Structure 1
């Protein structure tokens, strides 16, 4: 039987992702913000240089195109880390393109000018400036002041051959005329990378589509630029739990670069989770990256940044591909006994574990059937007998949760010594 006949995919009904390459500077790219915006999480620990370089190496192997290495304006400690990572990128001939976040201040941009000369590579200056009315009111800013501030910083970067991505903070709550004014002036000064931000996690997928359509039609094309000459970045946050959905909406609306962080680590509720975004776009057929190392990357990010990884976190949480429920486990086991890993990965899972460096796991607990126990014993090379299965079944039914492997081994040892 054909595998395609075993799953009816409602996701594809009256849906087709299409993208005209001639309208874009490149395909769908990703900018990993884990080492900058991610570390602004109130719970995050700043990893060592060696740990950051290890995370950087995972990004390279996963085929991510961009990385934000940090915030030079935060001081010498951060500059030292950025400098070390740039050296690693240069020495290992990485394809990933480095960048750093900067305020629209020449003092923030100057270190990038110096590091570009030292490492002989371009370093994207992600220059940010808040544009929403609520931010302007709070800070006592006017649009005239914002435009003047942007002009000074962008002109300085362009004159020193530092590529600029101009970032409007809180774009999703900014007035259209203000967004249009400041982006178009930035493009006049030579900016060819724009970043649209949902800084406060306010927007819904509909808002993403409406805003990016506005950027395309009213900002870029209305100013006389070809869409393919302007890179549009999307940077989302997770305050309403819509980070991944908004990232997908941004891709569908034509964004060229999607930002995110490992495990969605970041300020407040966090950034849009890059790992979940990659999983979904891979399953949708939008990207072809080999993501078998994605789990290893996520686990290392969890270890080094020390932000909790919930057991039920999609795909990469400990519970994601484990089941102790009899009916569910029985179906998975039947597929495994057929030697059909494709089937085992999908019969009770919307995500194929093997595609992301993971596997299905059968547990034993109060909702388990005897097939769980038999399978576990076989996998642990323990001789199966009716009496042992009955003994473990009785113990399992008395548990309040699934048993740990060491608990099952202890139960088997106790039975064998009777």
Structure 2
């Protein structure tokens, strides 16, 4: 849940309907807005997980400070969240290690990767080697942008390097192929748009919005995404893609649009 979008009453309702884990997400510099929500979730006996989104945008040291805020509020596992799929190997390792050093036994550390640069699995391995205890993935990469780290690939890789997950590789591969794939409206693609998001550090949820504005205004989606990255837009600012589209449209009409 997102504080300000979801409320404390929503946490209570989720528990009343069988929920047992409360995952609370904030921008990586705004952990303080989650304090009351973590407090209530712990009072209700829920397992608590914190998401520091767009973790690539601040240093490992500053990220660890934000993780401390969540842990002190009652969060039991704080995630380094690569919302844009922009982190590359050492960037994951350094951030996870910083959180592990800061939190010690007070909270676990997790990692949530995206495939926008094709590194979701490799980054997850780096996270585990740096001390992460929880790793996110989804069958067939189902998720925003180019998708999340494919859980079936994660399990196969973890098996090969001796990391025990309790999940059978062949069973999860069957589930991904025979259950999840037929239910997906479309495959998550590592195409130009996704690559631009990872390269430019754009929140993965911007993809569909960029495609929509591209069709509406007749400007390339990848150019919209690149400029969104240049402006350092974050989740919740997707409407600014309209301004960017109009800007590019004016440049096209005057013959000054820069190639991306």
* 1:125 aligned residue: 22
Q: Supply the distance in 2 between the matched residues of 1:152 and 1:106 (Cα, whole angstroms).
A: 14
User: Partners of 1:293 and 1:263 in 2: how far apart?
Assistant: 14
CA distance in 2, matches of 1:308, 1:195: 26
> CA distance change for structure 1 residues 211 and 115 in 2, over 3 Å: closer, same or farther?
closer
Report if the CA contact (8 A) 2:54-2:81 is conserved.
yes
Q: How many residues were matched structurally?
A: 187
Alpha-carbon shift at residue 305 of structure 1 (Å) = 1.3
- Once the two structures are TM-superposed, the CA of residue 113 in structure 1 deviates from its matched residue by 1.9
What residue is the counterpart of 1:192 in the other structure?
A: 76
Partner of 2:2: 103
Is 1:220 the counterpart of 2:220? The answer is no
Q: 2:57 aligns with which of 173, 178, 183?
A: 173
Cα distance in 2 for residues equivalent to 1:193 and 1:109: 19
CA contact (8 A) 2:146 2:188 kept: no
Counterpart among 303, 307, 331 of residue 182 in structure 2: 303
Instruction: State the structure with more CA Rg.
Output: 1
In the alignment, the residues of structure 1 paired with residue 31 and residue 110 of structure 2 have an alpha-carbon distance, to the nearest angstrom, of 20
What are the within-5 Å matches in structure 2 for residues 55-204 of structure 1?
102-105=1-4, 107-119=6-18, 123-131=20-28, 146-204=30-88
- Structure 1: runs of 5+ lacking an equivalent: 1-101, 132-142, 311-418
Cα drift, residue 106 of structure 1:
7.9
Structure 2: distance between partners of 1:148 and 1:204: 27
| Cα deviations by residue, 1:249-300 (Å, 9 ceiling, x for unpaired) | 1121121011011111211111111111111111223226333322321121
Structure 2 match to 1:284: 161
In structure 2, how many angstroms separate the alpha carbons of the residues matched to 1:252 and 1:178? Answer: 21
The verdict on how the C-alpha distance between 1:147 and 1:199 changes in structure 2, with shifts beyond 3 A counting, is closer
**SS of match in other structure, 2:136:** strand
CA 296–163 in structure 1, closer or farther in 2 if over 3 Å, else same: same
Work out whether 1:275 is the aligned partner of 2:155: no
Residues 238/165 of structure 1: CA separation in 2 closer, same or farther (3 Å cut): same
Deviation digits for residues 166-194 of structure 1 (CA, Å, limit 9, x no counterpart): 11001122234532332212222222211
Aligned-partner Cα distance in 2 for 1:305–1:292: 20
Correspondence for 2:114: 237
The alignment's TM-score, normalised by the length of structure 1, stands at 0.41
Larger RCO (CA within 8 A; separation ≥ 6): 1
In structure 2, distance between residues paired with 1:309 and 1:193? 28
Segments of 5+ residues of structure 2 without an aligned counterpart are 190-260
Cα RMSD of the aligned pairs, angstroms, is 2.3
1:294 maps to what in 2? 172
Q: C-alpha distance in 2, partners of 1:187/1:295?
A: 35
Is the alpha carbon distance of 1:306 and 1:155 closer, same or farther for their aligned partners in structure 2, counting shifts above 3 Å? same
Aligned to 1:94: none
Q: Which residue of structure 1 aligns with residue 251 of structure 2?
A: none
